[in-house]
Structure 1
Amino acid sequence: MSKKKKMVLAVSISSIVILLIGGAIIYLLWFFPTRVELINNKFEIVEKRISVSDNRFLWDTGASGTVLFSNIKLDKRQIGISFVLDTHHKLKICNLFFAKEYFDNSIRLKNLIYMEVKENITSIEGQKQKFGGILGMNIIGNYNWLLDFNNNTLSNFDISYQYNDLAVLKLKYKSKLYSYTDMEIEGMRFKKTLIDSGSDADLQLLQSDIEQINKIKQPDSIIKQFSRGLFSDNISSKKYIYSHIKVYGISFDTLSINESSERKISIGFFRKFDKVFWDSGKKEVRFYKNSK
């Protein structure tokens, strides 16, 4: 075999190995069945977000993967590297780990695949809140979940578990990891809207979307504010506050829309209902008012 053919063969074999390793990491990160047991299903509200575990893990449907900060100590094994992108598109390279088990007084996680982020590179405001990590859709998507805002509880069930189908609002999404749907406000439809429980707003829209809405529905007030992401502080934006505005045909007495680079249905919108059922099996999110 000539030297040139040997070189081509070596490159081909190396490429195949890299692809196989990459495929294995993608499978582990996104589809490995991490098991969750909620020992105490009471959740804490931290900066309007849902937090579980003694170490403040955010329940975040807007995150495709799970992140633990490096202050969380557990028996782990590095299996690769990955990338973490925050809501303001700031990117960090981080290590990817496998841990057989994590547990505290509130939650037990088995066969955990996660990205580790050093807490000293996260946003200053985030460091002040002392979050332990983010439970993303690679874990959330393995279960059905019931958020009960009357009792401040979060319960998880087998993915085949059925819950009351008589919701006032149902939203469909297609991907296990990315919960995109369409938003409808005052008869206008906005495509590719992320259902994101990790964001503290009511709704988030592009500036051009808000300009469309304002042509037919004027806001009561506009507030200048600063938002943050996992790695970002002091991102300037505007919050528009409306009265008696219709979203999916439902009238809300008060609702705010934040100017953003991405369309989102956020945890503030969830909290306008009594209960929310996240049906990972059907890829459907159902919202209930005054439900039993």
Structure 2
Amino acid sequence: MKYMNFKNVVIFILSLITVWIVVVFFCYKGYLTNIEVGQIQLGDCRDFTTQDGIIFDTGADFSYISSNKIGFPFFLFPVLVNDGEGNNKILPMYFTQYFEVNDKVKIKNFAYFSGFKSNRIKAIIGMNVLSKLNMLFLSTQNTLDIKSFDFKPQIPSSATILKYKDRICPKVTLRLDNEVIDDILIDTGFDGDLSIDEHYIEKLKSNHSCDTMIRTNNTLFDTQKVKKIIFSELYINERLYKNIHVVQLKKRLLGSKFLKQFDRVFWDSKNLTVYMWNENDEY
């Protein structure tokens, strides 16, 4: 009898653990995530940040929220968070039922990490959420339209097209002049045109006149002084662009300054494609 009671207790505990693992897995993977569509007014900065400090960041795997007083959050597990520049912190991962961006755009049932305060950032909406929706940036209005997964606007045949393979980590290959560079992350949280390492920058500088200055680069946990090289012109995927700002970093990024020079940017998460074009492009 005692053996049977002990066995039943063990089975019950294992059942609870199994249920908890399944719940955590579904929450973590975002299978329950839902977004109410609408338009968001962006702020004056170069990246995709709202006026009250919410960043729509395609360079972030996961979302971050500074305040834990939203919806009905519950703790999932601790997670090691890296800011991309070697700074790490162990932070708690939560799941919440509700986060309101504005009176129209609301995100439901998603995972995020918290546990530290930032004066610059109220929230980061990362790819665990953004990969489940489509986005249309309108430069004339400086707005970001959150669209359904099936939405697709009319796109001109001359649009610049970037394709990526990983739904959470949108990396592309670019040709800068004659240099082919792989694994460049499309990062709307980065306010420059490009960031690449010193090796490629020196190769590009040998073919161009450029200016170098020092700028402050903000990471999630820190700030750092980095070199910024301004190219008066640069070929990117065989198209000539002017006034391109390249930051010297170990990580390779294509930033929001480059995206925002177009009148329209459509992020097609369903087909893992980014389209960029101007109003006078031919359809």
TM-score > 0.5, shorter chain as reference: yes
Look up the match of 2:213: 223
Out of 261, 264, 269, the residue aligned to residue 275 of structure 1 is 264
Deviation at 1:39, TM superposition (A): 4.8
Percent sequence identity over aligned pairs: 21
Structure 1 residues 84 and 22: CA distance shift in structure 2, 3 A: farther
Out of 144, 161, 171, the residue aligned to residue 134 of structure 2 is 144
- Following the alignment from structure 1 to structure 2, what is the Cα–Cα distance between the partners of residues 287 and 75? 38
Look up the match of 1:3: none
Asked if structure 2 preserves the Cα contact closer than 8 Å seen for 1:240 and 1:257, the reply is: yes
- Following the alignment from structure 1 to structure 2, what is the Cα–Cα distance between the partners of residues 92 and 291? 47
- Following the alignment from structure 1 to structure 2, what is the Cα–Cα distance between the partners of residues 106 and 132? 18
Deviation at 1:188, TM superposition (A): 1.5
Structure 1 residues 45 and 84: CA distance shift in structure 2, 3 A: farther
Asked if structure 2 preserves the Cα contact closer than 8 Å seen for 1:40 and 1:106, the reply is: yes
Letter in 2 for 1:97: Y
Specify every segment of 5 or more residues in structure 2 that has no aligned partner in the other structure, as ranges.
Answer: 1-9
Look up the match of 1:154: 144
Structure 1 residues 170 and 39: CA distance shift in structure 2, 3 A: closer
- Following the alignment from structure 2 to structure 1, what is the Cα–Cα distance between the partners of residues 145 and 18? 38
Structure 1 residues 71 and 28: CA distance shift in structure 2, 3 A: closer
Look up the match of 1:44: 43
Structure 1 residues 27 and 268: CA distance shift in structure 2, 3 A: same
CA deviations over 1:166-189 (Å, ceiling 9, x no partner): 253100100110000112111211
- Following the alignment from structure 1 to structure 2, what is the Cα–Cα distance between the partners of residues 273 and 263? 21
Letter in 2 for 1:184: R
Asked if structure 2 preserves the Cα contact closer than 8 Å seen for 1:33 and 1:111, the reply is: yes
Deviation at 1:27, TM superposition (A): 4.3
Look up the match of 2:188: 197
Look up the match of 2:58: 61
Runs of 4+ in 1 over 4 A off after TM superposition: 17-24
Asked if structure 2 preserves the Cα contact closer than 8 Å seen for 1:275 and 1:291, the reply is: no
Task: Look up the SS of the partner of 1:239 in the other structure.
Answer: strand
Look up the match of 1:5: none
- Following the alignment from structure 1 to structure 2, what is the Cα–Cα distance between the partners of residues 158 and 174? 20
Letter in 2 for 1:29: Y
Asked if structure 1 preserves the Cα contact closer than 8 Å seen for 2:70 and 2:98, the reply is: no
- Superposition TM-score, scaled by structure 2 size: 0.85
Task: Look up the SS of the partner of 1:41 in the other structure.
Answer: strand
Matches within 5 A, 1:125-136: 127=119, 129=120, 131-136=121-126
- Following the alignment from structure 2 to structure 1, what is the Cα–Cα distance between the partners of residues 161 and 252? 18
Asked if structure 1 preserves the Cα contact closer than 8 Å seen for 2:68 and 2:114, the reply is: no
Task: Look up the SS of the partner of 1:70 in the other structure.
Answer: coil
- Whether 2:98 is the aligned partner of 1:97: answer no
- Following the alignment from structure 2 to structure 1, what is the Cα–Cα distance between the partners of residues 69 and 42? 19
Structure 1 residues 73 and 190: CA distance shift in structure 2, 3 A: same
Letter in 2 for 1:238: K
Letter in 1 for 2:221: F
- Following the alignment from structure 1 to structure 2, what is the Cα–Cα distance between the partners of residues 23 and 265? 36
- Following the alignment from structure 1 to structure 2, what is the Cα–Cα distance between the partners of residues 24 and 74? 18
- Superposition TM-score, scaled by structure 1 size: 0.83
- Following the alignment from structure 1 to structure 2, what is the Cα–Cα distance between the partners of residues 280 and 40? 17
Over the residues paired in the alignment, what is the CA RMSD in angstroms?
Answer: 2.6
